[in-house]
Homo-oligomer: A and B are copies of this chain.
Amino acid sequence: MKADARRFFSLAELAGHFGGTVLGDAAVRIRQVAPLETAGPDELSFLTNRKYQKLLSTTRAAAVLLSEDSADATQLPRIVCRNPYASYARISALINPENRPAAGIHPDAVVDAQASVAASASIGPCAVIEKGAEIGEFAVIGANSFVGREARIGAHSRLHPNVTIYHHCVIGERVSLHSGVVIGADGFGMAMDDGRWLKIPQIGRVVIGDDVEVGAGTTIDRGALDDTVIDEGVKLDNQIQIGHNCHIGAHTAIAGCTGIAGSTRIGKYCMLGGGAMISGHLTIADRVTVSGGTLVAKSITAPGTYTAVFPMQPHAQWLKNAALVRRLDELMERVRGLENKAKKLGKE
């Protein structure tokens, strides 16, 4: 919250901390970060896209972060830097430090006597830590969260309130899991026998690397036999579903409402748009971008952007065109017929 910003930083200080060259008054004092349109007189803004450059002439910001090729686009006090968006992220983190609760086990937490909790960790009220679980240094377990038996939460990681970690799962360091996240529920595996589904025990784990962030309501199922693995630096938005035995490569970012069926491998540095659905048992190469709403039913072997979205139209037009999609086979037939006629006519 903006109200948390409690002190001022000079432009010179900020450039000192995070790099970049100050142009203009280096003593300007910054209390907060803000977009160009709404920034006030003690706020720092940033230009990360040339198309917003005209806002520089009207902004009330005290100073601006921009890249070298825009260094002269304003006369406001400014920090010229290599990656203004990254500098903005770092400066905002300095100004708005995360509020982490004090170390210690809340008297209303329920921690098994055979769990191991670092002295610097914080366990919130009504959190439940089962036997054999390990909570690392400076980790935070939010109120009403659950850590199952033998699960491990790495140092500096944070479970927000109402997070569930099933037994034996492993969470790396500096991982952030938002409320409603469920890690390690049973994968969807069953065998049909005599008209009834038999459950297949899901005996793998979920193993999450360092520096992963998982958004609210996202679910990651434990493996059937082997583990489900989320590599370091992966960023998952809200309400993503990851099936059993998936492997998500390092630094891949996945937008909300995306589903990944079981045993699929996603490469490194991929970007999946919101609402994408990836079928099971596929392999997606490194640095693949999948557009939002796209269903991927085949493996993708080369980097690039892939899309599968029906174009939106006013409903009346859609009705006509959708009906014709159903008749494409006939349309192609009719074109072939015309081509044959044309060929015959040509011969006559």
> In the bound complex, do residue B314 and residue A308 qualify as a contact, i.e. CB atoms below 8 Å apart?
no
Contacts A34-B225, A161-B128, A317-B329 hold; do A188 and B205 have CB atoms under 8 A apart?
A: no
Chain B residues lying within 8 Å of A98, measured Cβ to Cβ, are: 201
User: How many residues of A are in contact with the other chain, CB < 8 A?
Assistant: 134
Q: Hey, what's the 0/1 contact readout for A138-177 against B, CB within 8 Å counting as 1?
A: 0000111110111000000000111010111000000010
Q: For the complex, what is the distance from the CA of A195 to the CA of B255, rounded to whole Å?
A: 18
> In the bound complex, do residue A89 and residue B168 qualify as a contact, i.e. CB atoms below 8 Å apart?
no
Contacts A96-B201, A128-B124, A315-B307 hold; do A89 and B191 have CB atoms under 8 A apart?
A: yes
User: Which of A7-15, A67-75, A216-224 lines the interface with chain B?
Assistant: A216-224
Given contacts A1-B150, A185-B216, A215-B221, 19 further A-B contacts (CB under 8 A): A35-B225, A83-B193, A85-B191, A166-B179, A179-B185, A180-B182, A182-B217, A188-B238, A195-B251, A197-B233, A237-B243, A277-B292, A291-B318, A292-B297, A293-B295, A298-B312, A307-B315, A327-B332, A341-B342
Chain B residues lying within 8 Å of A217, measured Cβ to Cβ, are: 180, 182, 217, 219, 239, 241
In whole Å, how far is A74's beta carbon from the nearest beta carbon of chain B? 19
> In the bound complex, do residue B293 and residue A277 qualify as a contact, i.e. CB atoms below 8 Å apart?
yes
Contacts A89-B200, A182-B178 hold; do A310 and B322 have CB atoms under 8 A apart?
A: yes
Q: Which residues of chain A from 195 to 237 have a CB within 8 Å of any chain B CB?
A: 195-201, 203, 205, 211, 213, 215-217, 219, 221, 225-226, 233, 235, 237
Any B CB within 8 A of the CB of A2: yes
In whole Å, how far is A40's beta carbon from the nearest beta carbon of chain B? 12
Q: Hey, what's the 0/1 contact readout for A1-44 against B, CB within 8 Å counting as 1?
A: 11110000000000000000000000000001111001000000
Any B CB within 8 A of the CB of A283: no
Contacts A185-B179, A320-B329 hold; do A313 and B309 have CB atoms under 8 A apart?
A: no
Chain B residues lying within 8 Å of A145, measured Cβ to Cβ, are: 144
Any B CB within 8 A of the CB of A338: yes
Contacts A1-B203, A126-B144 hold; do A321 and B312 have CB atoms under 8 A apart?
A: no
Q: Look across to chain B and name the residue whose beta carbon is closest to the beta carbon of A254.
A: B188
